[in-house]
């Protein structure tokens, strides 16, 4: 009986381990560092606008309320309504997508995942690399492929901003086995943004995704400080009490 109880735990550990493996293996190139700054409020505000303009048409963030974003990012109700709320009527609503899941399935072959926790699941560096990882591949249904999620059904939605790029590979042959190694991207057409501005756009967007994956992080830090102060005072009191109680016993 006792031994049996450990099995679900082992299964869980196995599942987590295999998830991390997929995560680490995901893709065909080295990850670029996102270098995001969760304390940079203007960056988070820009990222929120980017997300609502370029991602929320397909992706929801169903655990995130507009009111919470407004509170943390210092936006008034009018600013929220004017700049971010395209799919909602009330500020306490969560970020829903206008696209019905059945249509998404029909159009893309897979439902665009909810973005609430994606940064925790995949990591900021992955998201940053993924959004910079689209390259032209003429035979594919979307005309592009992604270095980090090969064969993805998500189109290159930021093509107007980034332009199109090609992926260069070198081929190595050893004992008759030919392997391809990714060497780098090469711009083909110019986008509205230059390379540096596009990096900034993606960084802000990923910063926002990292923030919504853990919106209470800022609150938690302040709570943590108070808990430590409380524990210190309590320790002193407990020590004094102990001395008082044991004083006569000795
Ligand atoms: C036209 C619809 C559409 C838009 C707009 C869109 N996506 Fe997607 N996205 C998808 C689909 C479909 C998938 C599922 C792809 C797959 O599984 O191959 C996806 C998957 C993803 C994933 C998961 C990748 C993974 O490794 O599993 C991330 C992250 C993502 N999108 C981020 C974004 C961001 C950020 C934006 C805005 C800049 C955006 N998407 C805009 C359709 C869209």
Name which residue sits closest to atom 22 of ligand 1, judged by CA: 113
Contact residues of ligand 1, CB 6 A cut-off = 54-55, 57-59, 108, 110, 112-113, 118, 122, 127, 130-131, 149, 152-155, 157-158, 205
Name the maximum alpha-carbon separation found in the chain.
88
Nearest CA to ligand 1 atom 24: 149
**CA–CA separation, 135 and 187 (whole Å):** 9
Query: Which structure tokens are listed for 187?
Result: 């711009």
Among residues of the chain, what percentage have pLDDT more than 70? 87
Q: What is the pLDDT at residue 13?
A: 57
CA of residue 40 to ligand 1 center, whole Å: 25
pLDDT in tens, 26-71: 457 899 999 999 989 999 999 999 999 999 999 999 988 898 899 8
Confidence of residue 21 (pLDDT cuts 50, 70, 90): very low
pLDDT (0 to 100) of residue 105: 85
Ligand 1 atom nearest residue 157's Cα: 5
Nearest residue to 38 via CA among 199, 207, 159, 152 = 207
Per-chain mean pLDDT for the chain: 87
Residue nearest ligand 1's atom 35 by CA:
55
> Of residues 215 and 81, which shows the higher confidence score?
81
Tokens coding 17: 């381990």
**pLDDT of 4 above 60:** no
Q: How far is the CA of 54 from the centre of ligand 1 (A)?
A: 10
- Exposed e or buried b for every residue in 68-99, given b needs 16+ CB within 10 A? bbbebbebeeeebbeebbebbeebeebbebeb
Expressed in angstroms and rounded, the spacing between residue 24 Cα and the centre of ligand 1 is: 19
Q: Which phi and psi (to 5°) does residue 54 adopt?
A: -115, -15
Q: How far is the CA of 56 from the centre of ligand 1 (A)?
A: 10
Report the C-alpha gap between 243 and 103 in whole angstroms: 71
Closest Cα to atom 29, ligand 1: which residue? 127
Q: Are 215 and 71 in contact (CB under 8 A)?
A: no
Q: Is the pLDDT of residue 22 over 50?
A: no
| Candidate from 52, 112, 158 with most ligand 1 atoms within 8 A of CB, to mutate | 112
Listed in sequence order, the residues at least 6 apart from 68 whose beta carbon sits closer than 8 Å to its beta carbon are 215
Note the pLDDT tens digit of each residue in 117-137.
999 999 999 999 999 999 999
Which residue CA neighbors atom 13 of ligand 1 most closely? 112
Which residue's CA is minimally distant from atom 40 of ligand 1? Answer: 55
pLDDT in tens, 81-115: 888 887 777 888 888 887 888 888 888 888 899 99
CA distances from residue 235 to 43, 84, 225, 226 in whole angstroms, order as listed: 41, 47, 15, 14
Give the Cα separation of 23 and 130 in Å (integer).
13
């Amino acid at each position: 009986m006792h031994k049996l109880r450990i099995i679900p735990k082992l299964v869980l550990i196995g599942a987590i381990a295999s998830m991390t493996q997929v995560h680490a293996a995901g893709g065909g190139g080295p990850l670029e560092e996102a270098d995001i700054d969760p304390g940079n409020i203007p960056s988070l505000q820009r990222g929120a606008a980017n997300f609502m303009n370029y991602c929320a048409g397909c992706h929801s963030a169903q655990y995130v309320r507009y009111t919470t974003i407004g509170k943390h990012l210092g936006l008034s109700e009018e600013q929220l309504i004017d700049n971010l709320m395209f799919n909602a009527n009330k500020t306490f609503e969560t970020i829903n997508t206008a696209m019905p899941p059945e249509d998404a399935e029909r159009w893309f072959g897979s439902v665009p995942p909810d973005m609430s926790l994606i940064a925790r699941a995949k990591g900021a560096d992955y998201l940053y690399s993924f959004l910079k990882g689209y390259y032209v591949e003429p035979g594919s249904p979307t005309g592009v492929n992604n270095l980090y999620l090969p064969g993805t059904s998500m189109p290159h939605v930021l093509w107007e901003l980034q332009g199109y790029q090609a992926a260069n590979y070198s081929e190595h042959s050893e004992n008759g086995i030919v392997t391809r190694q990714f060497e780098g991207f090469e711009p083909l057409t110019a986008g509205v943004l230059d390379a540096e501005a596009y990096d900034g756009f993606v960084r802000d967007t990923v910063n926002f995704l990292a923030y919504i994956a853990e919106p209470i992080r800022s609150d938690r830090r302040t709570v943590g400080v108070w808990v430590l102060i409380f524990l210190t005072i309590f320790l002193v009191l407990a020590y004094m009490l102990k001395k008082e109680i044991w004083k006569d016993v000795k």
